[in-house]
Structure 1
Amino acid sequence: MHLFNNSNKMFFYFILFFSTLISISSNSWFGCWIGLEINLLSFIPLISNSNNLLSSEASLKYFLTQSIASINFLFFIIFKMIFFKNFEFNNLFSLMINSSLYMKMGSVPFHFWFPNITEGLSWLNCFILMTWQKISPMILLSYYFNKNFLIIIMILNTIIGAIGGLNQTSLRKLMAFSSINNLGWMLSTILISENLLMFYFLMYSFLISIMCFSFFMLNLYYINQLFIFNLNSMIKLSLFINFLSLGGLPPFIGFFPKWIIINFLILNKMFFMTLIFIMTSLIMLIFYIRIIYSNFLLNYFKLKWFKTNINNHMFYFINLFSLISLLGMIFSTFFFF
């Protein structure tokens, strides 16, 4: 029975992968909609778990929100074909389509479902929701977007993602608000080039995969668990490097894509947007450093009854990639110039 369940999961992962390819390679809006629907129907069996009420609730919430976004997407396509044949309505149509795609990817102001759903998921499903599930809406958005609306959404994403994570004690919700903040940076790459969009997405996926895998191996879900556990010094160093790299602090590798975006914004005289992006990144670093502070400095031995060691070779192999955050910035600067 266990093998049967695993084979079913592999089948749904396979469908999840190909549904994204169908969506982004389609030459019609209906084909894009079909790809998004297949993606939705393949992800729900992966996150639903009859033995866990939080997972069942998360799958139901995800189904409802994504269904609403899909219905709106389909409705606007049909509306366009029937009524919006004149070019003067193209701006209105782009606003409608963009709103549906923003809701699909969990962007502000349609982000309220995103942190609540991540709270009921495993770390693997959180990783998929924060990375892979954003590919289709983001690529479709890059095909057809309203520039002024996109700039407003970018600014709101960075602000809400930074402020929303300040009062969180759950690591999954904190990573969700971090994903919303990084989504603002990612959307700004649409204005620059698709190559930079893919580069930023791959870099963010690399960093968030290390974080999710580390939390999964340590069975961490809340900040106070870092306070109680007596973690190995190598694990502490890995969390320290990856948190600061995810926050975009130089000279870590996570700063490099943000540095390119800042250069582009300054060259295009978007000084106000640059200031907001930098200030919200500093706010993000505040609650990353708060986690590191509780892990490193609050060392009450009476609370630390046992020492947490991980004897998994995969974990140490992943930690080797953390050194890329230290050394990669040096090589990337030579490559950039």
Structure 2
Amino acid sequence: MIKNSYKFLFFMSMMIGTMIAISSTSWFSIWMGLEINLLSFIPLMMSPKNLFSSESSLKYFLTQALASSIFLFSIILLYLFLNLKFNLVYYNFMLISSTMMLKSGTAPFHFWFPSVMEGLSWYSNLILMTWQKIAPLMILSYCLSLNLLIVIIIFSMLFGSLGGINQTSLRKLMAFSSINHLGWMMGGMMNSENLWFMYFLFYCFLNFSIVYLFNNFKLFNINQTFKMFNSNKFMNISLFLLLLSLGGLPPFLGFMPKWLIIELMVSNNMFLVLSFMLVMTLITLYFYLRIAYSALLLNHTTMNWTFKINLYSKNLKWMMAINFLSLTGLFMINLFYFFI
């Protein structure tokens, strides 16, 4: 019998809900898919070993229920405006866009996101940062408003960068990092139909690699990163290089989607917004370097105790291969284009 088979059931139901939402041709079907996704993810958030998971799941449910109710109200108004031929559809699409931003945790609707992530396990956070953003961002791309997107990009880059400066919790740092990356996705969405999704795929790949290592070494705060020195310095340096790749530092793989977005925004003469995005991204690199501080120092303090971690497990070997791919992927892509 499968251990925790109910989790497998809810996980499949969550995926089906997302697929219904992004493949529907009707607004009510989209709303139904979002609700299936929400009600399936709540049991996955709960954990008897984590006392804060119930609080986080309640915050998540209340926020998503508020967004769903506003979204349903917006759908009813949309049908009403179309039938009565009112010229207010543009404002209604802005309301729908705002509800999708609330669901995905985009600034300035991010008030729930860091506190919810703080109470969850790493793998629940991984789902929250990756899979749970697919449907809201896809629906957001259906009803784009250029002026609203520029405002959201500025807010996301500002709050995502400045919010993580004084944080010592790795989960909150990853939450504010996710808000910052959402700003880049909005920038890609504003200039291309498919570029934001490519950026999202790169973001998911790097997030999976980092979350796996955080969960494997049971890291939740910055000061716990010292204990990785007592187990494996190679994995320690690999983790921090992955963080720099997630921050978009060249020549790592995470720089490639940012590079493409920068090229498109330059070609569309969006120099002011792009300059602001680049400056705010430098601040995110600063708090990534705070995590990497212990790895980059030559003289550092080490703990007097050690942690028994199986460094020769098959999963860890696969993870080292994925880390190598994420660190050298940009070189491989450039070589591919060179030989073509």
Mark yes or no: TM-score above 0.5: yes
Using the TM superposition, name which of 48-57 and 202-211 deviates more.
48-57
Does structure 1 residue 320 correspond to structure 2 residue 321?
yes
Q: Which residue of 2 aligns with 1:111?
A: 110
Distance change in 2, residues 1:15/1:304 (3 Å) = same
Q: Which residue of 2 aligns with 1:26?
A: 24
Q: CA deviation at 1:90?
A: 1.6
Q: Which residue of 2 aligns with 1:78?
A: 76
Distance change in 2, residues 1:336/1:260 (3 Å) = farther
Does structure 1 residue 331 correspond to structure 2 residue 329?
no
> What secondary structure is seen at the aligned counterpart in 2 of 1:251?
coil
Distance change in 2, residues 1:308/1:292 (3 Å) = farther
Q: Which residue of 2 aligns with 1:214?
A: 213
> What secondary structure is seen at the aligned counterpart in 2 of 1:169?
coil
Distance change in 2, residues 1:172/1:52 (3 Å) = same
Q: CA deviation at 1:199?
A: 1.2
Distance change in 2, residues 1:17/1:283 (3 Å) = same
Measure the CA separation in 2 of the matches of 1:332 and 1:267. Answer: 23
- In structure 2, stretches of 5+ residues that fail to align are none
Measure the CA separation in 1 of the matches of 2:5 and 2:193. Answer: 35
Contact 2:104 2:132 (8 Å CA) reproduced: yes
Measure the CA separation in 1 of the matches of 2:18 and 2:61. Answer: 17
Distance change in 2, residues 1:326/1:56 (3 Å) = closer
Using the TM superposition, name which of 89-98 and 248-257 deviates more.
89-98
Contact 2:81 2:87 (8 Å CA) reproduced: no
Measure the CA separation in 1 of the matches of 2:323 and 2:308. Answer: 20
- RMSD of aligned residue pairs (Cα, Å): 1.7
Q: CA deviation at 1:316?
A: 2.2
1:166-192 alpha-carbon deviations (Å, 9 max, x no partner) = 111000000000000001111222123
Using the TM superposition, name which of 307-316 and 270-279 deviates more.
307-316
Distance change in 2, residues 1:336/1:281 (3 Å) = farther
Q: CA deviation at 1:63?
A: 0.5
> What secondary structure is seen at the aligned counterpart in 2 of 1:100?
helix
TM-score of the superposed pair, with normalisation by structure 2: 0.94
Contact 2:214 2:220 (8 Å CA) reproduced: yes
Contact 2:14 2:36 (8 Å CA) reproduced: yes
Contact 1:142 1:190 (8 Å CA) reproduced: yes
Measure the CA separation in 1 of the matches of 2:60 and 2:327. Answer: 37
> What secondary structure is seen at the aligned counterpart in 2 of 1:317?
helix
Measure the CA separation in 1 of the matches of 2:324 and 2:32. Answer: 41
Contact 1:22 1:35 (8 Å CA) reproduced: yes
Using the TM superposition, name which of 292-301 and 41-50 deviates more.
292-301
Residues 183-202 of structure 1: pairs in structure 2 closer than 5 A: 183-202=182-201
Contact 2:227 2:307 (8 Å CA) reproduced: no
Distance change in 2, residues 1:241/1:310 (3 Å) = farther
Q: Which residue of 2 aligns with 1:42?
A: 40
Q: CA deviation at 1:281?
A: 1.3
- In structure 1, stretches of 5+ residues that fail to align are none
Q: How many residues align?
A: 334
Contact 1:12 1:43 (8 Å CA) reproduced: yes
Contact 2:206 2:326 (8 Å CA) reproduced: no
Contact 2:160 2:180 (8 Å CA) reproduced: yes
Q: Which residue of 2 aligns with 1:152?
A: 151
TM-score of the superposed pair, with normalisation by structure 1: 0.94
Contact 2:81 2:89 (8 Å CA) reproduced: no
Does structure 1 residue 69 correspond to structure 2 residue 67?
yes
Measure the CA separation in 1 of the matches of 2:225 and 2:304. Answer: 10
Counterpart AA for 1:313: K
1:18-66 alpha-carbon deviations (Å, 9 max, x no partner) = 1100000100100000000000000001102345330000010000000
Q: CA deviation at 1:198?
A: 2.0
Measure the CA separation in 2 of the matches of 1:248 and 1:80. Answer: 39
Residues 115-130 of structure 1: pairs in structure 2 closer than 5 A: 115-130=114-129
Q: Which residue of 2 aligns with 1:237?
A: 237
Measure the CA separation in 2 of the matches of 1:149 and 1:17. Answer: 29
Using the TM superposition, name which of 309-318 and 275-284 deviates more.
309-318
Q: Which residue of 1 aligns with 2:178?
A: 179
Measure the CA separation in 1 of the matches of 2:142 and 2:240. Answer: 38
Counterpart AA for 1:283: I
Contact 2:240 2:295 (8 Å CA) reproduced: no
Measure the CA separation in 2 of the matches of 1:258 and 1:198. Answer: 12
Contact 2:7 2:44 (8 Å CA) reproduced: yes
Measure the CA separation in 2 of the matches of 1:201 and 1:194. Answer: 13
Using the TM superposition, name which of 309-318 and 194-203 deviates more.
309-318
> What secondary structure is seen at the aligned counterpart in 1 of 2:88?
helix
Q: CA deviation at 1:335?
A: 5.0
Does structure 1 residue 256 correspond to structure 2 residue 256?
yes
Measure the CA separation in 2 of the matches of 1:219 and 1:37. Answer: 32
Q: CA deviation at 1:300?
A: 1.3
